[in-house]
Amino acid sequence: MTSRIIARLTGHPWLIQSEALDTMLQLAARDMPDEATIDAWKRGPSREALASRQGDSLGNAPTARVRNGVAIVPIAGPIFRYANLFTNFSGATALSDFAANMAAAVADSRVKSIVLEIDSPGGEVTGLAEAARMIAEAAITKPVAAFIEGAAMSAAYWLASAAGEITIASTGAVGSLGAVVAMQDSRDAQAKSGVRRYQFVSSQTPNKLLDPTTDAGAARVQAFADRLAGEFLADAAGNRGMSVADLLAATDGGGLLVGADAVAAGLADHVGGFEETLARLAAGGGRLRTSIPSRPTGPAPRATSQEPAMSNPAQTEAPASTPETTAEASAPPPAPIAEAAAPPATPPADPVAVERTRCAAIQSAAGPGFGALATLAVSSGWPVEQFTAAQAASQSAVDAARTQATAGAFRDSLPAPIAGGGAAGDLPADPGERARLEFAADPKLRAEFATEGRYVAYVQAVAAGKVRTIGKRA
């Protein structure tokens, strides 16, 4: 278990504080408890009491709650792509759970707005771009606000920036922008233990296996980290209506900003608390995005090929407990960035986002008993207004029909009672008994079947599905 977790942590790029990654590596190096112990820990009385104060459950959402029409979606601890034993034990966030939370919040008609409750040092790169886009798309349908309680570092700030607005606690912190690539070097330890490891890389692909202890290998790892950081910075800057250069300048090359300083630098919108943020959203004070934010164009910030990669001694020295080499793309570019012209004031709407918004609005507007009509509207491309009008007309027709039925308007359309057999509702349930009564009361049946036994056998065969009536003679 421990070796697999360490391989996972050191084998993927991260958008996370370096200190947080070190902490996870140290935690992973220890023995992990079994799943039963973790489940008991998660079910502790303090956690159940806290969950009960956070609001009502939200459909099938793994961790989201709803209070006063506001969905509360948590983003806490390190961010991983999928949930696993390590994420459960360390109180991390799985993007798979986050996506389910957001989908439930968007689809639930009780939810009028969404708040992202964030306290995270960042996390894994994989899936972050998609999660940020999900937030931006949801913010077009329902107001989405991010509340930063403790920290929104690196990947967590990427997600926060996609919300329609950001509120930060007076002691909350944002920043630590950039990418980290951790690589574990255990060759010395293996050599001391007598283990020799040989690896042969195909001659056609010499860069398949990089050696970060060489200048060439380190330069390629650095370029990889810079490329990932460029994607992150471009998206976060676009979400906040800034250029990449302005974002880097505001954070002094990816550094930290606290509370009011983050607001003054444009990385947040308000200083406040969680409860007041929730109350403002519940009162309709949130704001919608008008479109998916456009990313600033231009070259991504990265080191030049002539610069020695990982030249910072603090980055090349490995921690005593876990030897590793870390490359962090947080420094500003060596040369001024050529920014492209400002995007148009009203960029064209993303057709995928528009379609998702239409479908979500129809599903949210569907009342009880109108699921089939909503499905028809979604698949047929109806506008939301046409669906709501059709639903209202259908409801009016149903209500009118029920009123008429109560008044007896459709009584004449019911089957007439069989002569001699009493009211239709008084006929025996047994097919044989019913057939005998019908045969005795109807001269046409007696003329057609001649004997009672033949007619009884016919009715029983029809009831058993052995005979199918195609037509009747006049």
Q: β-pairing, 144-153 with 173-175?
A: parallel
The string of pLDDT tens digits covering residues 363-378 is 888 887 788 888 888 8
DSSP class of residue 13? E
Q: Given this model, what pLDDT does residue 152 score?
A: 92
Cα gap 361→382, rounded to integer Å? 11
Q: Does 2-328 carry CATH code 3.90.226.10?
A: yes
Cβ contacts of 118 within 8 Å, gap of 6 or more: 75, 76, 146, 147, 148, 149, 151, 152, 156, 159, 160
User: Residue 133: its pLDDT value, please?
Assistant: 93
pTM of the model: 0.54
C-beta atoms surrounding 324 within 10 Å? 23
Low-confidence ranges of the chain (pLDDT < 70): 1-54, 83-91, 182-184, 297-352, 410-429, 468-474
pLDDT at position 156 is 92
Residues 6+ apart with CB under 8 A from 246: 237, 266
Q: How far apart are CA 133 and CA 162, in angstroms?
A: 7
Q: Kindly report the CA angle at 243 between 242 and 249, in degrees rounded to 5?
A: 95
Domain ranges of the chain: 2-328, 415-463
**pLDDT value at position 417?**
52
34-43 per-position pLDDT tens digit: 555 444 434 4
